[in-house]
């Protein structure tokens, strides 16, 4: 079937332009540059020591604090009418993509808490369910002889996962992220400018939810390259999503030191 072209709304077109010009403002860009500098420091430490020292964890914390300042400044400068707020957790039914180092950082934050083991266990169970869904989809595609790429099948699985409304294993009972400081980049950059009800995957307007792309520039991608490089320097395998990453990494040697 021929794919229809995705038509960007006028609001999203305007926001894309406003965000692009806000990115170029030195008072906004400085925060992103600080975050990258902190990640460069963390990467150099990891390459030297081949492990994550206390200083590396601190550099990572500072990098994410700078990312939050950058995103705040970007949203303010571009006057993005964000509709997200505390306690609105409809988007926390995702299996968000994460870099391996983010999964390790999240697992570390969880294991430092009383309820951490339970949440890790939930992540392990969800990772298994997600994998089963994905494998079913792959074998269906194989049986039907349809030539689908792995990434297309992964995207379909993500969609089915969201529609099944599996709350993220980190989501608190109060509807807030229970590991806010350690949440991955994908969660930080996910904002909606639309009716909050439409964020619910069961809402008929879910597929047309208006979400401006806050994270799309070469410099922003450069920051992600640092995150990937830190994981690679530690020998961590890439992970597709948060549940998978926590399931794989919660008993990593770095967290037993």
Strand partners, 177: 171
Closest CA to 183 of 119, 121, 69, 103: 103
Residues 150, 199, 129: CA angle, nearest 5 degrees: 40
Question: What is the smallest separation between the CB atom of 27 and ligand SF4, expressed in angstroms?
Answer: 27
Minimum gap (Å) between residue 39 Cβ and ligand SF4: 20
Radius of gyration in angstroms for the set of CA atoms belonging to the chain, rounded to a whole number = 19
> Is 67 among the residues that bind ligand SF4 (CB under 6 A)?
no
Give the distance between the most distant pair of CA atoms in the chain. Answer: 55
Kindly state the DSSP code that residue 177 receives in the 8-state scheme. Answer: B
**Neighbouring residues of 11: CB distance < 8 A, sequence distance ≥ 6:** 193, 210
Told to check if 90 binds ligand SF4 by CB under 6 A, we report no
Give the span between the Cα atoms of 171 and 74, in whole angstroms.
Answer: 26
Q: How many residues touch ligand SF4 (CB under 6 A)?
A: 9
Q: Which stretch binds ligand SF4 (CB under 6 A): 89-97, 116-124, 128-136, 228-236?
A: 89-97
The 178-197 site mask, x for binding ligand SF4 (CB under 6 A), equals -----x---x----------
Stretch that binds ligand SF4, among 34-42, 122-130, 169-177, 227-235 (CB under 6 A): 169-177
For residue 96, state whether it binds ligand SF4 (rule: CB under 6 A).
Answer: yes
Residue 74 in contact with ligand SF4, rule: CB under 6 A: no
Q: Quick check: 94 binds ligand SF4 (CB under 6 A)?
A: yes
Using CB under 6 A as the binding rule, whether residue 240 contacts ligand SF4 is answered as: no
CB 112 within 8 A of CB 119: no
Nearest approach in angstroms of CB 202 to ligand SF4 is 17
Asked if residue 119 binds ligand SF4 (CB under 6 A), the reply is no
Minimum distance, C-beta of residue 117 to ligand SF4, in the bound complex (Å): 17
Exposure pattern of 210-221 as b/e (b: 16+ CB <10 Å)?
bbbebbebeebe
Specify the residue, 23 or 183, whose C-beta has the smaller distance to ligand SF4.
Answer: 183
Question: In angstroms, rounded to a whole number, what is the distance separating the alpha carbons of residues 37 and 97?
Answer: 23
Q: What is the binding site for ligand SF4 (CB under 6 A)?
A: 92, 94, 96, 168, 170-171, 177, 183, 187
């Amino acid at each position: 079937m021929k794919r229809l072209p995705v038509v960007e709304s006028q609001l999203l077109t305007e926001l894309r332009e406003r965000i692009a010009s806000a990115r170029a403002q030195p008072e906004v860009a400085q925060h992103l540059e600080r975050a990258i500098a902190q990640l460069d420091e963390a990467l150099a430490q990891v390459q030297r020591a081949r492990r994550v020292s206390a200083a590396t964890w601190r550099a990572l914390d500072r990098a994410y604090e700078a990312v939050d300042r950058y995103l705040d400044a970007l949203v303010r400068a571009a006057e993005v009418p964000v509709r997200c707020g505390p306690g609105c957790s409809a988007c926390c039914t995702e299996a968000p993509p994460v870099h391996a180092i983010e999964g390790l950082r999240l697992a570390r934050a969880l294991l430092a808490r009383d309820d951490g083991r339970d949440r890790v266990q939930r992540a392990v169970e969800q990772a298994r369910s997600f994998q089963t869904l994905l494998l079913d989809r792959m074998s269906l595609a194989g049986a039907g002889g349809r030539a689908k790429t792995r990434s297309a099948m992964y995207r379909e699985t993500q969609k089915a996962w969201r529609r099944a409304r599996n709350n993220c294993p980190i989501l608190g009972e109060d509807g807030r992220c229970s590991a806010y400081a350690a949440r991955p980049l994908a969660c930080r950059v996910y904002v909606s400018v639309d009716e909050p009800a439409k964020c619910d995957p069961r809402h008929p307007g879910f597929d047309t939810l208006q979400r401006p792309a806050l994270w799309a520039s070469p410099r922003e991608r450069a920051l992600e390259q640092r995150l990937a490089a830190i994981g690679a320097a530690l020998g961590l395998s890439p992970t597709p999503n948060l549940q998978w990453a926590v399931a794989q990494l919660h008993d990593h040697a770095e967290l037993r030191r």
